[in-house]
Structure 1
Amino acid sequence: MPALAEYPFAPKTFHTADGHCLSYLDEGSGPAVVMAHGNPSWSYLYRNVVTAFKGEYRCIVPDHLGCGLSDKPQDYPYRLRNHIDNFTALLDYLRIERCVLIVHDWGGAIGMGWAGQHPERVAGLVVLNTAAFRSRQLALRIAVCRWPLLGALLVRGLNGFAWPATFMAVCKKMRAEVKTGFLAPYNSWANRVAVHRFVQDIPLQPAHPSWSTLVEVENSLAQLHDKPMLICWGGQDFCFNDHFFAEWKERFPQADSHYFPDAGHYVLEDALPEIMNLLPLFLENCSGKVD
């Protein structure tokens, strides 16, 4: 892949139990900060966070299988359980005993799926426009991408999920070179397989294959109630709207919550300066709990 704007990193590779290559960033040294992205983003989402903190912290950002620079197998299950298992295996491989976890979008269910099972390894949590609990809410523009035949044509054939996110998920116009960075890994039908499968894997009913896994993740949140939490929320998110923000605050009333009314789903793009003003103190306060 050619050089991408604001992404001067050398990704590393981890082999999953089934032999697939999982790409990840491991930059800097010090207390660990682990970041979990969602769909249709990849580790590129956290590029500015890594650049800012790699001088003081060990910044680890995996690309979920099928995303970013990771392998994109065409016959893989791509279920929530698979992503949690891969995430867990990577952190075990890297011997991450304690970390601050930052989650966004699908990274919420994946990252919290790991955190709730390993609360003793969590020093703090940063929540960015995401969910890790059941909801029947689904934006129509996402629901359409789940329809049989039409969904595959839109998402994989016409790039009708990753490409619209570059303007629907932000309030500020995304620079052309940044848009190129977000879209670079998803340049063909085959390379968009996980983008589509993530959309299909949203569990809205008990019969869905990932419903029981999401219930486990939701129930495990109770194990994290005593953890420091910073919530940074974009108020113009059409997907994870104010309903989800309110639920996070209800579940974690002790959280330090910040609402950015003029930021969208990609809150790190629209409210980066404001969030970067909050993160240093939060990480510093958690660092005494990080090995």
Structure 2
Amino acid sequence: MQINGAIAQSPIRTLFPFALGEYALPAGVLRYVDEGAGLPVVMLHGNPTWSFFYRRLIAALRGQRRVIALDHLGCGLSDKPQQYDYCLANHIANLEQLLAHLKLGPVDLVVHDWGGAIGMGWAVRHPEQVRRIVLLNTAAFLSPHIPLRIAAGKTPKIGEWAIRQLNAFALAATFMTVVRPLPPEVRAGYLWPYQTPADRIAIARFVQDIPLHPAHPTWPVVDAIDRELAGLRAKPVRIVWGGRDWCFDDRFLAGWLARFPQAEVTRIDDAGHYVLEDASDEMIGRLARWLLEEPHER
């Protein structure tokens, strides 16, 4: 697929009218929104979303900030190599290479879902490159809690078959992650990059990469990130939390507050996991204004 041409001809272009950058890794090309100028804001999505998740926040910031919204390898508009080790450590390494290439200087970091572990995995290695952090229904620490509907995706063979052949994970996410139904065009936007079983490889691998026991190779990676989070405690942290998220529920919010007790919290009682979809325009505006303020470390 010729990405730029294909998306230019797609109906979702009206919702996602952003300039794209590319960065070639040995395994494939990373693509990312690159909009605006000024102090940089880096946005990292989770699974099974892509940079489309941030479109309203990008639009609110690009007039005064440079916004980088990455599609992880295997996701969104980035390449989807079929013979690649899709694991947390590699996603962190990919982000590290991209940001070193872009030479942005200190950034504001906005993370959601798997973007939390990926972004904070980078941040604990480069605390001097982090100005502020926004956490959106995410985690970067181990948890014994996994909903049954997510655990089903980890079922050997059957789970991957359902995710890749039936698109079960991405389809279900378009209605199970929100309180207010997504408009048809927004639903189509989330699904657009994941049209074939090959397109959905990273969706399946992200589910398989959820560490539930110490023998899982990603368990020590997450544990190491968690042990280093204290090095970021001086950074201003804003948490915007969907209170009706059945996946990253309030137990995860409590986990963040234990690690960042100074964080400013906005819990949106009637928002689900795709918190930016359920958030009002006024809430998006408030978050954007916070990111437009001059940062002050505590």
Shorter-chain TM-score tier: over 0.9
Deviation at 1:288, TM superposition (A): 6.8
Aligned partner of 2:126 among 118, 122, 135 = 118
Give the corresponding residue for 1:14: 23
Q: Is the 8 A contact 1:78 1:198 kept in 2?
A: yes
Give the corresponding residue for 2:249: 241
Alignment of 1:188-267 (within 5 A): 188-267=196-275
Q: Secondary structure at the match of 1:117?
A: coil
Give deviations 1:228-276, integer Å, cap 9, x for gaps: 0100000111110110011111211100001111100000000142432
The 2-side partners of 1:3 and 1:33 are apart by: 27
Aligned partner of 1:109 among 114, 117, 132 = 117
Alignment CA distance shift 1:288-1:260 (3 Å): closer
TM-score (norm 1): 0.96
Matched, 1:129 2:137: yes
What is the one-letter code of the residue matched to 1:183? L
- What is the root-mean-square deviation of aligned Cα atoms in Å? 1.2
Aligned partner of 1:285 among 273, 282, 293 = 293
What is the one-letter code of the residue matched to 2:121? G
What is the one-letter code of the residue matched to 1:26? D
Alignment CA distance shift 1:280-1:43 (3 Å): closer
Gaps in structure 1 of 5+ consecutive residues: none
Give the corresponding residue for 2:155: 147
What is the one-letter code of the residue matched to 1:14? Y
Give deviations 1:20-64, integer Å, cap 9, x for gaps: 100111100000000000000000000111111100000001100
Give the corresponding residue for 1:276: 284
Give the corresponding residue for 2:165: 157
The 1-side partners of 2:15 and 2:56 are apart by: 7
What is the one-letter code of the residue matched to 1:6? L
What is the one-letter code of the residue matched to 2:135? V
Q: Secondary structure at the match of 2:143?
A: coil
Matched, 1:40 2:48: yes
Give the corresponding residue for 1:93: 101
The 2-side partners of 1:123 and 1:222 are apart by: 15
The 1-side partners of 2:147 and 2:49 are apart by: 18
The 2-side partners of 1:279 and 1:238 are apart by: 23
Q: Is the 8 A contact 2:56 2:284 kept in 1?
A: no
Matched, 1:187 2:195: yes
Give deviations 1:128-179, integer Å, cap 9, x for gaps: 0000000010000000011011101210111110011000000001000000
Deviation at 1:3, TM superposition (A): 4.1
Give deviations 1:86-143, integer Å, cap 9, x for gaps: 0111111000211100000000000000111111111100000000000010000000
The 2-side partners of 1:38 and 1:286 are apart by: 27
Q: Is the 8 A contact 2:80 2:201 kept in 1?
A: yes
Alignment CA distance shift 1:19-1:154 (3 Å): closer
Deviation at 1:287, TM superposition (A): 4.5
Matched, 1:138 2:146: yes
